[in-house]
Structure 1
């Protein structure tokens, strides 16, 4: 409305001025070069305005002609840029889809049309990766480092190439440089953590966990667990290098963070025992046992007195049983020790209690051992073994990714993932091998031939007793592992126990095997 009013006012003013000029008196005389012209004032002004308009038109025409080449070049450049971005977009889509031929074709067109555009470097590098031209891809990523806008992307590409080649030192250097470039980027921190752990740089990885927690990349429970696991690995590393004091400090911190994590308590107990401090070793094992009894804790507890007679060992282990009596492992350990000591009625009592708490294949196999040791006959033993075939499996160290059962806990699973091994129930599979034994009642008598295990069809199923990975799920190559906890039974201990056992214990027994397994919440 306001604009309309202004327009009407201007038109009215102009109309009034024109009317006034047309009706006003006076003339304009021009005497030039012998010519005299006399015009009314209104006509003179009109001619002057026309002349000014013509001059303006001529000037604009001249300026258009002068600028025409520049406009033509600008239009051509714009057209090339639009076409170049179309080719670039199509090439990136082809690269993401894995179409190397199409991506290469689009990449060449985009390079010709866009020339110095940094996005073409990315497309060329991705195309080279698809075609397996690692040298060309690395060259393009290095060229990205020279441009501020693509430097970070170039670092990521070079880092991926270094990891692919297995060059850990180069990958670590690039990851640290990327962290300096961007301290709050999640992929930088997770990649750096993975590289540090694979290279067994536990202390540096421990510091990275704080950054992961700050950015909420990990949940609080994951942060707590990773810190405990890394402390445990520091203890293992220090113990392997002979730094027992440092190892014990790290082991104690690990047990505070993960009090029910059996390997941490075992390492601490082993180091304390090597230092001659058996009471500290005993307390560390007992604290972990109170929270979660574990077969490897029982083995470590037995190693505190390696030359102990079966009767004495049974009496000493009664202390452990009292700490957590309503647990299957407490009862099966006592049953196994009672068999070794020749106290078969007591062994049966413990097995009956274990069966009430949690029926499992391991309990039934111990029943078979008891029948053989007590002279009950091979027929009864085979009956118990037949029950074990379809009974629930005992807990074991299981890789969550492959389903493979491992003899000991390790920081990386067979799949190569950090913290993939947990103490859990393995996928169901029939096994008659002696997975339940701790090595406390080893017998050298011949053993019956076990039946063939049932075939496994799913990748999540547990492996057969030969510890091969589950069918159709071969594990990936795992990174180098730190030394496993010293929880396997000592051969001297096994011989001492077998020799001290009464004659009845020398009857055929189930074959020895790796220790069973522990809970997911602490392992």
Structure 2
């Protein structure tokens, strides 16, 4: 400033006819003041101009914070299964933001609608998700699940194909598409999907071979009567992938036998028998030659057992059936009765019942075996995990999940009778007749006590039931009495009117 003040000279402003002379110091100070004032005025006007927008942003930030808190609380409530609390948070969100398409809000609404089992609302939410790129695949998954639950396989397949077009490498799409094809028995498409899974490395080679053999076997069964030549090709391919595929072996041997290639059919059965046994394999071997007599069929099964030195229960069951065919019931019983023990399956008891129905007059022994069959703890069937079936299946029918069903004796799943909880109800909820049976079993007097019925001529026409002890010859009357109508007196029955069998 001292330099400017000491500077001699003037700053001249000419405004028309007017001339204004000012010192350099005053000019500089005035210029700086004008510039500063201009900046301040600009900032003030800018702030005033942007103030509504800033207020709006602050309101939106607060709203977003409230929405985020509501989403967080709603998801927690929905995850805990508290539908009402989650619904309150959803209404709070809708009050703050109407018709919002926020992904987290849509997820919360979808989860709560799923808990309420509101399929209409779910469908609407998933349709809305389909318009957002981020949630498009989730939309396909949700709509497919709704279609699957409504038992509409055709619509499910259409949705899966659309999802596959959108993203062909999506694992769940390929997996669910395979299940749909299995349920609808579209074996060719199922095989193509399985090949795609291997190509995308979604399945191991070992698992692929197992599943492929199951699908090929199913396809062969479908075409066995319509197109035997293609069916035999599919069955043989299935055997190459999995040599233990019993049903493929049976199908192939059956077709080869019908086509006259009996030696080849016998070889397939014999080779499979060495690794895995099934009664139908041995039994089918005896029928490879259509003109064979029952005796020759028995010899065929005996030859298989002798050649492979493998029998076991499957070989003996097949041999027993063959002996039954030739009506050699003593030999049939001799073969099978060695398997009677505490773990005997229903199959053995049923065979013994069939045999004894021919060996003994009356059905007493046969009924005894059938009663044991009904109470058996084991049954012989096809089983996979907790699912069992009397026939071989490629998948679980309800879900379409491909499974390798194994043949054998499997424990029949029932409640544990030794469970303390169940024992509290065994007597208190038992009928009088059942309670008597329970007492007889507990006392182990099945052979010593028999029930007799005495008809007593009374006005009330009652039948009293008693127990006779063979050992002490004492009749113990029970508290059980059943009121039943006694038929009218038929009169005196002459001896010649009695027809004994």
> Which TM-score tier does this pair reach, normalised by the shorter chain?
0.5 to 0.7
Q: What is the CA-CA distance between 1:44 and the residue it aligns to?
A: 5.8
Q: 1:38 offset after TM fit, Å?
A: 4.7
**Alignment partner, residue 217 of structure 1:** 202
Q: Which residue of 1 aligns with 2:6?
A: 25
Deviates more, 1:286-295 or 1:213-222: 213-222
What is the rounded CA distance, in whole Å, between the counterparts of 2:351 and 2:107 in structure 1? 66
**In the alignment, structure 1 residue 259 sits paired with structure 2 residue 243:** yes
| Aligned residue among 77, 96, 101 for 1:117 | 101
Q: Which has the higher strand share?
A: 2
Out of 71, 84, 95, the position equivalent to 1:88 is 71
Partners in 2 of 1:324 and 1:359 — Cα distance? 29
Query: Structure 2 CA distance, aligned partners of 1:136 and 1:382?
Result: 58
Aligned with 1:316 (options 300, 309, 313): 300
Give the CA deviation at 1:409: 1.5
Q: 1:108 aligns with which of 74, 88, 91?
A: 91
Cα deviation 1:16-44 (Å, max 9, x = unaligned): xx7xx5488314646778987657x4x76
SS at match of 2:6: coil
Query: Per the alignment, do residues 425 and 335 of structure 1 end up closer, same or farther by CA in structure 2, a change over 3 Å counting?
Result: closer
Residues 455 and 421 (structure 1), Cα distance of their counterparts in 2 relative to 1, 3 Å cut = farther
2:171 aligned partner = 186
1:298–1:333 Cα contact (<8 Å) kept: yes
2:494 aligned residue: none
Call closer, same or farther: CA 1:345–1:146 in 2, change over 3 Å.
closer
- Which whole-Å CA distance do the structure 2 matches of 1:423 and 1:126 have between them? 41
The structure 2 residue matched to 1:411, chosen from 368, 391, 394, is 394
- Determine whether 1:153 maps to 2:138: yes
In 2 relative to 1, CA 127–351 (structure 1 residues): closer, same or farther, beyond 3 Å? closer
Q: 2:315 is matched with which residue: 323, 330, 338?
A: 330
Please provide the CA RMSD for this pair.
4.5
Answer yes or no: is 1:170 the counterpart of 2:155: yes
Instruction: State the TM-score, normalized to the length of structure 2.
Output: 0.67
Tell me the CA shift for residue 252 of structure 1.
Answer: 1.2
- 1:207-252 CA-partner distances (Å, limit 9, x unpaired): 1112323444333322111100000011111125x12221111111
Q: What is the CA–CA distance in structure 2 between the aligned matches of 1:238 and 1:65, rounded to whole Å? A: 83
Kindly provide the CA deviation profile for residues 37-62 of structure 1, in whole angstroms up to 9, marking residues without a partner as x: 657x4x76455434432332222112
Cα 1:371/1:390, change in 2 over 3 Å: same
- Contact 2:253 / 2:268 at 8 angstroms: preserved in 1? yes
Indicate which of 107, 112, 129 corresponds to 1:127: 112
What is aligned with 2:47?
64
Do the aligned residues in 2 keep the contact of 1:260 with 1:291 (CA within 8 Å)? yes
Q: Which residue of 2 aligns with 1:291?
A: 275
Partner of 2:489: none
Q: Distance in 1 between matches of 2:391 and 2:199?
A: 33
User: Which residue of structure 1 aligns with residue 467 of structure 2?
Assistant: none
Q: Tell me, what secondary structure is at the counterpart of 1:303?
A: coil
Distance 1:113 1:395, change over 3 A: same
Question: Within the alignment, does 1:201 sit opposite 2:189 as a pair?
Answer: no
Alpha-carbon distance in 1 for matches of 2:178, 2:308: 37
TM-score, scaled relative to structure 1: 0.64
C-alpha distance in structure 1 between counterparts of 2:71 and 2:151, whole Å: 31
Name the SS of the counterpart of 1:259 in structure 2.
coil
Flag the 1:382–1:70 CA change in 2: closer, same or farther, 3 A.
Answer: closer
Distance 1:392 1:72 in 2: 77
Pick closer, same or farther for the CA change 1:192–1:269 going to 2, 3 Å. Answer: same
Change in Cα spacing, 1:74 to 1:364, as seen in structure 2 (3 Å) is closer
How many residue pairs are counted as aligned between the two chains?
Answer: 409
2:416 and 2:36 map into 1 onto residues whose CA distance is: 101
**Deviations, residues 64-101 of structure 1 (Å, cap 9, x unaligned):** 11111121122222222332233233333433333332
**8 A Cα contact 1:401 1:420, kept in partner:** no
Query: Does structure 1 residue 54 correspond to structure 2 residue 22?
Result: no
1:423 aligned counterpart, secondary structure: strand
The answer as to whether partners of 1:325 and 1:331 remain within 8 angstroms in 2 is no
**Corresponding residue to 2:215 among 214, 223, 230:** 230
What is the alpha-carbon distance in structure 1 between the residues aligned to residue 244 and residue 151 of structure 2? 35
Distance (Å, rounded) in 1 between the aligned partners of 2:413 and 2:36: 99
2:58 maps to which of 64, 68, 75: 75
Change (3 A) 1:61 1:276: same
Q: 1:372 to 1:83 in 2, by over 3 A?
A: closer
